[in-house]
Amino acid sequence: MHTSILDHAAMRPISAEEYMRAKLDYEMTPTALSMGLGRDSAKIIVIDVRDKPSYAKEHIPGAINIPEYEIRQHGPSLPKEKTLVTYSWDMTCVLAPEATMKLAGMGFKVQLLAGGLEEWKRRDLPLDKKPAARRGATA
């Protein structure tokens, strides 16, 4: 039996208003994160939940890399007193929401970076980037 996305939404015991309020409570904009890293960086841990090669290529400055599939393994070693801000590729990527749910279930204070790395880059915020290899360069 096939059900549509609208059928699933109708089965939820939360109103649209409650959902949107919760969404705002648990999302952080790229600008807010950038400002928070400037003044409250000791209270925040930014977690890039993409794969290791993607993190190595580019990531938000100061972010640590814990791929989504390793969150349950590494979560217990994270400090409970800090707010964990997760991000992945973009607003359609499910990696960061999945990681955020897992961390919340472990008792962490969590926020999701709205729009992910794509929105961070769109706003021209700083990135740590791996230098591109030059053609003909020798080791």
| Per-residue pLDDT at 87 | 98
What are the residue ranges in the chain where pLDDT is below 70? 1-12, 132-139
Q: What's the structural domain count of the chain?
A: 1
Q: Is 3 part of a structural domain of the chain? A: no
State the Cα torsion 32-50-69-26 to the nearest 10°: 20
Domain around 102: 24-126
Domain contains 10? no
Q: What is the pTM of this model?
A: 0.84
> Percentage helix, strand, coil, to 5, in the chain?
45, 15, 35
Whether 44 is in a domain gets the answer yes
H or E stretch covering 102: helix 95-105
- The pLDDT score that the predictor gives to residue 134 is 59
Determine, yes or no, domain membership for 52: yes
Burial class (CB in 10 A: 0-12, 13-18, 19+), 32: middle
The β-bridge partners of 111 are: 85
What pLDDT, on a 0 to 100 scale, did the predictor assign at position 22?
Answer: 86
